[in-house]
């Protein structure tokens, strides 16, 4: 029963944070900090299902691989390995500083 409660909590946080607080519009770009966490994974999947371009940050190579290969994030990076975080968006195909519309910092 505890697993269901945790899943519901993360799910409600993801849904409300993305849909109710951010009010996304078609074609927007989404950045998710702590994207490999429970709520971050759910927001990323929800955003991808709705057709958004999704970028996530995580704290290890394994988590970045999870975001890109299993959860189909468009871009992901390991913030612990970045020496200049301002350079990260410039490497993106879509030049995120100009196009970034939604940034979520999710902590449960």
What is the DSSP annotation of the chain?
Answer: -HHHHHHHHHHHHHHIIIIIIS---TT-EEEEETTTSHHHHHHHHHHHHTT-EEEEEESSHHHHHIIIIIS--SEEEETTT-S-GGGHHHHSTT-HHHHEEEEEE---
| pLDDT in single tens digits along all 108 residues of the chain | 344 444 566 777 776 677 767 677 887 888 888 888 888 888 899 889 888 888 898 999 999 999 999 999 998 988 888 777 666 656 655 555 455 666 656 554
| Nearest residue to 53 via CA among 80, 78, 24 | 24
Q: Which domain holds residue 63?
A: 4-104
What CATH code is carried by the domain that includes residue 70?
3.40.50.720
Contact 22, 29 (CB under 8 A): no
* Domain count for the chain: 1
d(C-alpha 104, C-alpha 18), whole Å: 8
Prediction pTM value: 0.73
């Amino acid at each position: 029963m505890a697993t269901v409660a945790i899943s519901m909590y993360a799910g409600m946080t993801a849904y409300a944070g993305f849909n109710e607080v951010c009010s996304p519009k078609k074609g927007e770009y989404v950045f998710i900090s702590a994207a490999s966490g429970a709520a971050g994974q759910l927001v990323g999947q929800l955003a991808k299902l709705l057709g958004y371009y999704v970028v996530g940050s995580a704290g290890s190579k394994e988590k970045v691989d999870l975001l890109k290969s299993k959860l189909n994030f468009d871009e992901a990076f390991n913030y612990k390995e970045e020496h200049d975080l301002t350079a990260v968006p410039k490497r993106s195909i879509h030049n995120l500083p100009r196009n970034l519309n939604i940034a979520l910092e999710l902590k449960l």
